[in-house]
Amino acid sequence: MKQPAALRCGAVSGRRPPSPARGGERVAFNANPLLVVKLPAWRSKLMLFLLFCGFVALAGRAIFLQGGVSTSYFQRQGEVRYARTLEMPATRGKVTDRNGVVLAASVPAKAIWAIPDDVDATPRQLARLAQLLQMPVAELRRKLANEDRKFVYLRRQVDLDVARKIEGLQLAGIHQSREFKRHYPESATVAHLIGFTNVEDRGQEGIELALESTLAGRTGHRRVIKDRMGRIVEEDWLREPVDGSDVTLSIDHRIQYLAYSALRNAVETNHARAGSVLVLDVRTGEVLALASWPSFDPNTRGSWNIEALRNRVVTDTFEPGSTLKPFSIAAALDAGRITPQMRVDTAPGRMKIGDRTIGDAHPHGVLTVEQVLAKSSNVGTAKIALNLPAQMLWDTYTAVGFGQPPRIGLQGAVPGRLRPYRTWRPVEQATIAYGYGVSVSLLQLARAYTVFARDGDVVPLSLLKTTGPVAGVQVIKPETARAMRHMLELAVSDEGTAPAARIAGYRAAGKTGTARKLHNGRYTNAYIASFSGFAPVSDPRIVVAVMIDEPSGGTYYGGQVAAPVFAQIAAGTLRALQVPPDGPITLPALPAQPVPEEAL
């Protein structure tokens, strides 16, 4: 018979099982010698004390955080997660021409931005988003992997129809905010004058930069609280936006388009490098048109050529050549040293000054002062200029604005180059008199010609529409200005250098210029063809200046390249302004080859 397991264990171990207590008493469970803990009493007390210290530390930290002792840091961290301050852009002011036609305006757009940590999109959704944002998927992923996981712009100034498609994707973490995008309805036609803004809608060039404080207004700020779904549940204005003011320019968009088109065609026809045109109102000094070619479309930033961004009317200087001769002759006429009918011997068409020789394209013999200007004689002009003190010439040049920075408000307007008269040698005085050794911008040249179109005074130029009379500064006597108008009209006749500048129905006056370009201190075989004039002669209303850079279409003379552009622009401008005709309606046929002026 088998023994119980308990007996077997006792037998094996050699120990007897404990006998039951006498009298039916029970033995306590913890009396079992196997459960007796032989540890020092202080250990449990130490553990209790440490637990108490931890509880006190936690309680103290809770009081520190919740009791307002130092909560600013944590409040900021919390606000980052539910509160934002949004910048609310002001609407930029419109730019219009003198007749109210919009040249620049702000249209609503959207900024697409993301909180990278919150973005949850499938590869297919990211591909569609990248397509709508017009960027590679890799670039989109790079932006969303930005180390700053709180905010990143994906694209600015997104059109509203594209923004609606992005919103339709319903992507978590992708948000939109309101902003504005600048739009230029006339595109390249007025690009150099109006300029453009950057992605922040701040002016960078042209009128947009010059009148930034007027157009921009003041940005507002709005504080919003969002729930975990990104929905705005509370908002409050910190500062409301103030819209910018509108600006009315002196430009007439009809004349601007006419000038731009005529210039572009002339540059392309003559295979020229570039060109520029300026049209001024003689009575007020307002700029009616300003154009440069090549141009650019300010609405399409990605296609810009750096060379095309330059406003050549105000930034480029050139040696004016024969267009400077009227000022040298006017200085002598105003001083009483010559009269229009005084004779000047230009034979044999050459003149030696020191070790230098200047000359005319063709020998003319004896000419009146009127004919010296009409036939553009370098020798005749030099003889007249050398009969004057150098300071007298210099005073006349500076009085009309040469060598002085133009005050028109556009960035980059240059003063040109006119050295002090004390440094002039006789040969330099002679060459400066017919436009070499001095440089001007087309803006300076056009403004200077208003002294002949007006009664000897010159007015400040304005890009803004003006009202009321404009006071001028007297430079030459009124009778001198009237005599010069007659001489300049002869220059546009058959015996002058610019019959191609005549206008059907109007009497025109002006002067051609053909000058070699200076490169690294040497004159090259590249030329600047120019013309500056006004119409109608009986009561001048407009001044038009034209410059064509490096024409290479077979001819380079100002009378053949620039004068026809003047005629086309002036004719259209006078009709647009409804100026009554003062000349013959039909013009005689032009000679096959106009008499060229000398190009040194």
Active-site positions read: 322
Long-range contact pairs involving 340-343 (C-beta distance under 8 Å, separation at least 24): 340/368, 340/369, 340/370, 340/483, 340/486, 340/487, 341/368, 341/369, 341/370, 342/368, 342/369, 343/367, 343/368
Residue type at position 209:
L
- Under 8 Å between Cβ of 529 and 513: yes
How distant is the alpha carbon of residue 31 from its chain centre?
Answer: 98
Contact residues for 264 (Cβ-Cβ < 8 A; gap 6+): 293, 295
Label residue 32 exposed, middle or buried (CB < 10 Å: 0-12, 13-18, 19+): exposed
Q: CB count, 10 Å around CB of 271?
A: 11
What DSSP character marks residue 21?
P
CA 411 – CA 497 distance, rounded (Å) = 35
Phi, psi of 244 (to 5 degrees): -70, 165
Task: Find the helix packing angle between 478-491 and 325-334, rounded to 10°.
Answer: 140
- Nearest Cα neighbor of 250 from 225, 228, 274, 279 is 279
One-letter amino acid identity for 436? Y
Give the list of residues 6+ apart from residue 128 with CB closer than 8 angstroms, or none.
169
Run of H or E including 377: none
Query: Given the structure tokens 């103290």, which residue do they identify?
Result: 60
Look at the block and give the residue holding tokens 């007390």. Answer: 45
Helix H, strand E, coil C: the string for 68-134 is: CCCCHHHHHHHHHHHEEEEEECCCCCCEECCCCCEEEEEEEEEEEEECHHHCECCHHHHHHHHHHHC
The DSSP annotation for 291-303 comes to EEES---TT-GGG
Cβ contact 343:377 at 8 Å = no
In angstroms, the CA 290 to CA 598 distance is: 28
Q: How many CB atoms lie within 10 A of CB 432?
A: 24
Q: Which of 277, 91, 251, 265 is nearest to 186 (CA)?
A: 251
For the chain, what percentages of helix, strand and coil (3-state, to nearest 5) are there?
A: 40, 25, 40
Q: Rounded to an integer, what distance in angstroms lies between the CA atom of residue 544 and that of residue 492?
A: 14
CA distance 441 to 433: 17
- Residue written as token pair 């009809």: 254
Structure tokens at 508: 């025109």
Tokens of 63: 């009081």
Residue 294: is the preceding peptide bond cis (ω within 30°)?
A: yes
Contact 280, 287 (CB under 8 A): yes
